[in-house]
Every structure is written in structure tokens, then in C-alpha cells.
Amino acid sequence: MKKIAPSILSADFSRLGEEVKAVQKAGADLIHVDVMDGHFVRNITVGPVVVKALRRITSLPLDVHLMIEQPERYLEAFAEAGSTWITVHAEVCPRLKAVIRRIRKLSVKPGVVLNPSTPLKRIHPVLDEVDLVLLMSVNPGFAGQSFIQSSLKKIERLRKIVDQNRYGLEIEVDGGIKVENIREVSRAGADIFVLGTGIFKTENYEETIRKLREEMA
């Protein structure tokens, strides 16, 4: 089943709990949490305390996207906080396989993320060990950027590799997705769609999610 993952980065942080409850009620499948450290990306966002707080107010899985250097230093903290998935960027993990195995040992589902310019071959060695591959369709750091069109080809290529080898992983795509373009992202082979602006900056979350489901079917 295809899934919609609202990214809290575009939510109203002064009412974060209400915002998350509202998208849950509107039919979201999981909650995407963008963690940024001011080093791997320029922006700084939230840490384990926010994941822990969200864990108490929603029953949805928490999809924690770590845009941080040396993510291995924080895996335990994010696992204890209640993450369902933890995804780490291949660009900052010279020992990617070991990091993925650590995440799984912590009873969290491991995933790997690629920036738009990082080639798929970087993750070939871990495709049989991850539950999720997250392909960035914008350069990470900020919400509200435009979808990079060449991502579609990359999604298609990964879809083929996953199907041919029957890897048990889901393909997630993050950045610049909206009602207007989710259909082509879905057709390219994505399973999970992250939307910040495309949900939280719309008037009626329920209606937006209904339209998104229609388009991505």
C-alpha cells in the first residue's frame, strides 16, 4: 500500500501536537521528522526530545530522517525516543553497513537516504539489509523547494533493481511533492511520499490527503 508521510518541518511548531493530530485524523500514514544539525545541512531543527514528545501524542509510525553528521552518535537516543524508522544519509556513513546493523539491533527499522547527486550504486551493498530507501528530490535543508525532475529516472531505476532482486524494502521520495506532481512520482515507482509544504501549507488537510490518494493510486 502506498503511504503519505507529512513532514512536520512545514507544520506550525507553536501547535505541533495539534498539527500532528490533525494530519493523523486527515488520513496520514506516518509522520516524517526532519532532523538537521547545522553541519550536514545549513538548517537546524529538532532532536530526540521532540520525537519523544510526538511518540506520546500519535499512534502513527515515526519516520526519522537524520540529516546530521556522524549519525552513529545519536542512534540510541533516537531509538529510545520512539522512532519507528531511522534513515541515515549514505554521504556521511563511510561504514554504512555497520550503521544499518546498529539501527536494526536497536529494534528500529533501518533506512538509507541519498542526496539528488549521490549515485544509486553507493547503496547497492546494503539493499538487502534496509527496510527503506529514501531518495531526496530536493537538496536537503529546507522545505518549500521545487522537485528536481531528474529524480524520476532515479526512482525508476531503483524500482527496477528492487523488483528484479525482490528486495523487501520500500522506496520513499522526499522534497517538492504536491497534488500536482505526485502522480508522476508514484508512476516512477515510489511507495512512500513525504510532503511538507504540500500538506501543511494547504487549507484543508483532509481534502489535500484525499486528492493525493486519488492522484497516486
First and final CA of the chain: distance in angstroms?
A: 9
Q: What are the cell numbers at 109?
A: 527499522
Is 34 one of the binding residues for Zn ion (CB under 5 A)? yes
Residue 149 makes CB contacts below 8 A (sequence gap 6+) with: none
Tell me, by CB under 6 A, how many residues bind ligand DX5.
21
Select which of 29, 63, 131, 174 is catalytic: 174
Residue 128 appears among annotated catalytic residues:
no
Question: In the set 19, 172, 174, 191, which binds Zn ion (CB under 5 A)?
Answer: 174
Question: In the set 19, 29, 34, 63, which binds ligand DX5 (CB under 6 A)?
Answer: 34
Least separation in angstroms between residue 128's CB and ligand DX5 is: 25
What distance in Å separates the CA atoms of residue 154 and residue 120, rounded to the nearest whole number?
A: 8
DSSP three-state, residue 183: helix
Helix axes 48-57, 16-25, angle to 10 degrees: 50
CB 30 within 8 A of CB 2: no
> From the CB of residue 168, how many other CB atoms can be counted at a distance below 10 Å?
9
Residue 174 appears among annotated catalytic residues:
yes
Dihedral, CA of residue 69, residue 74, residue 75 and residue 81, to nearest 10: -130
Bridge partners for 172 per DSSP: 134, 192
Select which of 29, 34, 37, 63 is catalytic: 34
What distance in Å separates the CA atoms of residue 111 and residue 175, rounded to the nearest whole number?
A: 17
Closest of 190, 149, 197, 145 to residue 169, by C-alpha: 190
Residue 115 partner contact from ligand DX5, Zn ion, none using kind-dependent CB cut-offs of 5 to 8 Å = none
Is 63 one of the binding residues for ligand DX5 (CB under 6 A)? no
Which residue's Cβ has the minimum distance to Zn ion? 65
Is 140 one of the binding residues for ligand DX5 (CB under 6 A)? yes
Question: In the set 138, 155, 169, 192, which binds ligand DX5 (CB under 6 A)?
Answer: 138
Least separation in angstroms between residue 94's CB and Zn ion is: 22
Question: In the set 71, 110, 189, 198, which binds ligand DX5 (CB under 6 A)?
Answer: 198
Least separation in angstroms between residue 195's CB and ligand DX5 is: 5
Active centre residues (catalytic) = 34, 174
Task: Enumerate binding residues for ligand DX5 (CB under 6 A).
Answer: 7, 9-10, 32, 34, 65, 138, 140-141, 143-145, 174-177, 194-198
Task: Enumerate binding residues for Zn ion (CB under 5 A).
Answer: 34, 65, 174
